[in-house]
Amino acid sequence: MHPSESPRTSTAPAPGKRLALFDLDCTLLPVDSDYEWARFLIRLGVVDGPEYQRRNDVFFEQYHAGTLDIQAFLAFQLAPLATHPRAQLDAWHRQFMAEVIEPAIRPAARALIERHRADGDLMAIVTATNEFVTAPIARAFGVEHLIATGVEAGAGGYTGRPLGTPSFREGKVRRTGEWLAALGRDWDGFERSFFYSDSANDLPLLERVTDPVATNPDPRLAALAAQRGWPILRLFE
């Protein structure tokens, strides 16, 4: 450096001064991993095809309409986990990742995560989908922290029941707060907090952060974002 020059002042935030939260299905992924896992099990012949697909479609429609009974859905979604050994489930999930999820991961979604990583932000994926389905997906995105609906396990494997508060609607706010507390942090300790989501079901968490971003928004969220002046991000167009 020349003696007459002054050191440049970095405008990047200090590490950990910002919080970046990401919904998963139809936000970072252009597909719904819940819905696709059910379809994958049907293709394998693990579950009854026509009836399971019918119920899967009904729950999917209820979710988008904002009328989903989360406990009823979890009873349906988690039941197959209780009827097969963990080793078999893990093998199926590796196949699911290779055939369904990894081909669906887009560069734009990875780039969004990497921008926040480069800024030193504390990041987490916050999803209502259960942790069995989503933990390998979070790893594929390189995101260390996952806040997903828990799955109860016993000595013999999964029980088919949820564990704790589902990370759905207001549950996402509660579970995120609990996660921050476990890290010795709280909402007020961040200069800015971001949440990226496609769904109006995520309104409670979108309203909790300083920077809500409607990402690939469904019609209900797109209308709400326009009314409130929230930015709209479309990753897959």
- Please tell me the number of Cα atoms within 13 Å of 75 on its side-chain side: 6
Provide the β-strand partners of residue 146.
Answer: 125
Active-site residue identified among 25, 32, 198, 218? 25
Q: What angle do CA 28, 141, 184 make, to 5 degrees?
A: 95
* Active-site residue flag, 23: yes
- Whether 148 contacts 23, CB under 8 Å: no
Strand partners, 50: none
Tokens representing 45 are 């012949």
Catalytic position from the list 23, 32, 34, 198? 23
- Least Cα distance to 59 among 45, 82, 38, 80 occurs for 38
Is 90 a known active-site residue?
no
CA torsion sign, 155 to 161 to 164 to 168?
positive
Residues labelled catalytic:
23, 25
